[in-house]
Amino acid sequence: MRLSVSAGPAAPAPPAGAAATGPDLIAPPTVSGSAAQGAELLADPGTWSGSGQIGFALRWMRDGRPIPGATGPRHVVGPADAGTHVACLVTATDDTGARSAVSAGVTIPAALAPAAPALLLMVAGQSNARTAGVSAATPPDAYTDGTLGDTWILVQGTGIADAAFAPYDVTANADPDNSGTAWGSEAAFVHRMREAGDDRPVYIVKEATNGHSLDFHWDPARTGADFARLEDKVARARTLAPGGLAEVLLWCQGEQDANDEATAAAYAANLTAWFAALRARVTTGLVVVERIRPLGYAPGNVVDDSAGYLRAAGIREAQVAVPLADGTATSVDLDFLPATFPFIHPGAAWTEGKGARGHAAWTGTYDATYGAITDTAPAPYTFADQTDVPVGAVAVSDAVEITGLGRRAPVEITGGEWRSLNALDGDSVVTDWTAGPGHIDTFRKLQLRATASATADTAITVAVSVGGVGESWSVRTAATAQSYRAETEAFTAAAVAQGGQSIVGAQKDALDAFYDSAAAASWWPKVARLYCRLADETSSLLNLVDQTRMADNGGSSAFNTPMTWSAATGWTAADGSRSGISLDFDPSVGFTHDDHGIAVFFATLSDTAAASIDDGGVDEYYLRVLSSGSARLRCASGGNVNIAGVSPAAGMWAMMRTDAATIALHGPDGTIRDVASNAISGPTASYLALGSVEAQVSDAGHLGAAVFYRALTGAEAQDFAATVAALHAAFAL
C-alpha cells in the first residue's frame, strides 16, 4: 500500500443507501500549530488502511465551511480566521472508493496576537561551542524524537555562497563544518523553547573550530578567517530564511587565549573590538557569552595547572565586563559541574546545562533561575580569632574560601595584610601579601596576616571587606610569656614560612606536648617521616621529624591530580584516577635494615579496593584497609599479604616488616592484628606515596602517614598510636 497527498476538492460522499466504500480510518487527522496572526497550521491526514494506493485530498474549513482556495497541507492564520474554529477535512481514496474525516480543529482568538518572528540562532567560538566533548556521545531522546520541530541548520555546499538550510538532525548535521555529530548549546536551547510552547521556526548558523583564539583566528580584520566566515554565513542565512528574524548569538570561546600570557592579557581589549565589529557587520541582536570554566587541566592537557588558571581568571572577568558594557549582551556561568574542571572537553550533561542557561538568558529568567553572574557580594565568611599569641609575633589566619561570588570582587583591608590563594591548585599563591586594595576571583581563598601587639594580653583587630561584605579578625597576645621546645618553635615557624596559618594557643600546646612525649619515647629515633592532620594543608604536609621536609601533593609524575585536604577528613583523592602525595622518601636508600615499616592514619576507611600507600608501580610497597574488614599489604615484598576479618575502624593501620621473612599488621590501638610469612624483596622502589597510581582510587580519608627506619615493637606501636591520636584530637574540628 502506498500513500500520496494531493491538493484538490474533497471527493463526494457515497450516495444515500449505498454501501460504504473507501479506506478505513485507523487514526484521525490532526492539525498542529499556533493560533496567532501569521502562524502556520499544519495538517496531518491521519492513518488509513485500504486497497492499493491511498490518495488524500485536503480542504481547510472555517466554522464548518470550506475556506476558498485552502486545499494544501498548510494554512496561514489570517484576519478572516479571528474568532472562528479552523479544521481540516481529509478525504482518502483507494481502489474501492473514497471516505472522509474531519480533524480536531484550532480555535482562533477573536483578538489575534501577532506570531513570534522566526529565530536566527548563531553559535560561534571554538571547541566548546561545537561541543567537541559530545562528538561520540549518544544524543538525548528529546533531540531525536521530533519534538525539536521546525528547526533548520545552514549546511555548506561547495562553499558559503551556495549553502542551504537543511532540517536539523543531531545525529547527522548538527556540526556541519566538523564531524557532523557534535551538538552544541543550540540543541538544549531549542528543546527549552519547545518545552515552553514556543514553536516558531529556528534557523541555526554555526562557526566553531577547535583551538581557535580570539587574538588571531577570530580577529575581525583578518580576511577569510572565522569572523569573516560567520559574517558571510549570517548574510547567506538571511537570504534563505523569512524576513523579520529575531536573532541571538551564543559565544563560547577563550580557552585557547589562556594558553599564552600575551593573548590572555589582550583578551579584554580584543573582545571589546570583536563586539564593535559584530554590531557593525553581523548582528545587533542579543549575544550570550558562555563564560569559560576555571582551567585546572591535569598534566598532559593543554593548559598548565596554576598558570593556566591565573590567565583564565582575567579572561573570565572580561567575559562578564565586556558584555555588560555592550548593553545588548549578557553572560552565563558554566561552572555548574566542578568535576569537569580537569577536562578540556566536558560531555553531554555540561552541554545540556549550558544550552539551558543560554535559553534562560534569552528569555530573561537567568538571574532568577541560576543566580546573577554579576554578583560581587560574597556569602558570609569568617576567620578564627587567635589567642595566646606571643607578643610581637606574626600571626597568620586560616585560609577561607570566598563563596557566593558571581564574578571578581574588590578587597580592602585595615590593620593587617591579605593574600589570595587558588583553591583549585593546592592553595597556590595568586596575590601575595599586601596591605593595599585589590580583587579576588571565584574559587579563591582569602588569608590574613598581622603582627601581634607588643603588650601581653592585648588584642589587635584586622578589618577586611570583600565586595562590600565586611569581617574582622582578632589576634590577642598571651597573658604571660610561655616557652616551648625548640622543635615546636621550629615547626610553627616553618609552617608560617611555607605559607600556612599560625599554630597558637591550645594547638601549639598540644604540639609541644607531642614533642615532649616523642623525645622520651624509644620509637622516636625510628621515625623517618611523620605527617599528621594539623592546622591546615601546609602544616599537614610538613614533616614533624625534622620540621623542614615537605611532602609533595600531586608533584610526582606518577599522579594526575593532587589530593584534596579538609580539616574533617584530612586527605582524600581528587576526582579521577592517580591521585596522591609523595612522602619525600626513597625506600631504596632510606631503608637500610630488613625490619622497617609504614603507617597510615585513617579518618575513614575505603569502600573501594585501591591503595592508600603506593610506590608508583614497582609493587614492593602497598597498603589498603577496607571498610569491609579486609586488608592487603606489601612491605619490601613481591607478593601480597591478604588479611580478612579485621575489625574495621578508623585510626592508625601499620605494616611492619619485622625481619626478612615476616610482616605484621597493627591496628588502630597499635596492637598486632595479624602476622604473616612473607619473604623480603628489594627494596628497589625510589619513592613512597600516600594515595594510588592505579586507575581506581581509594575513597578513604587519610589524616596522614608515617615511615619507620626500623620496625616498632608491639609496645612501641601502641604508644606511638596513642601519642599521634592525641595530636590529631587537638587539631580536630
Task: Check which CATH number belongs to the domain holding 92 and give it.
Answer: 2.60.40.2700
Instruction: Cell numbers for 491, please give them.
Output: 615547626
Could you tell me if 175 and 299 lie in one domain? yes
Could you tell me if 86 and 146 lie in one domain? no
Could you tell me if 683 and 587 lie in one domain? yes
What pLDDT, on a 0 to 100 scale, did the predictor assign at position 9? 37
What pLDDT, on a 0 to 100 scale, did the predictor assign at position 695? 62
Distance CA 729, CA 235 (A): 69
What pLDDT, on a 0 to 100 scale, did the predictor assign at position 308? 47
Tally of structural domains, the chain: 4
Could you tell me if 442 and 358 lie in one domain? no
SS3 readout for 313-326: HHHHHHHHHHHHHH
Could you tell me if 361 and 392 lie in one domain? no
Query: Whole domain around residue 657: which residue ranges?
Result: 505-730
> Which of 340, 370, 400 is at the close of a domain?
370
Could you tell me if 93 and 164 lie in one domain? no
Could you tell me if 674 and 552 lie in one domain? yes
Could you tell me if 452 and 416 lie in one domain? yes
Task: Please give the DSSP secondary-structure letter assigned to residue 38.
Answer: T
Could you tell me if 697 and 625 lie in one domain? yes
Instruction: Cell numbers for 567, please give them.
Output: 580539616
Distance CA 609, CA 623 (A): 10
Residue 661: give its domain's CATH number. 2.60.120.200
Is 614 contained in some domain?
yes
Give mean pLDDT in consecutive 10-residue pieces for the chain, a chain of 733 residues: 34 46 92 83 92 92 90 86 93 93 91 83 96 89 91 93 94 87 94 90 95 96 97 96 93 91 93 98 98 65 44 93 97 92 88 96 95 96 94 92 97 97 81 96 95 94 98 94 92 92 91 96 97 94 93 69 85 73 93 97 92 89 95 93 94 97 96 95 90 78 96 97 96 78
Is 598 contained in some domain?
yes
Helix 505-519 × helix 714-730 angle, to 10°: 170
Instruction: Cell numbers for 639, please give them.
Output: 607478593
Could you tell me if 443 and 536 lie in one domain? no
Question: What residue type is 30 in one-letter code?
Answer: T
Contact 690, 563 (CB under 8 A): yes
> Cβ-count burial of 459 within 10 angstroms (0-12 exposed, 13-18 middle, 19+ buried)?
middle
What pLDDT, on a 0 to 100 scale, did the predictor assign at position 228? 97
Could you tell me if 305 and 418 lie in one domain? no
Could you tell me if 435 and 562 lie in one domain? no
> Which of 107, 139, 161 is at the close of a domain?
107
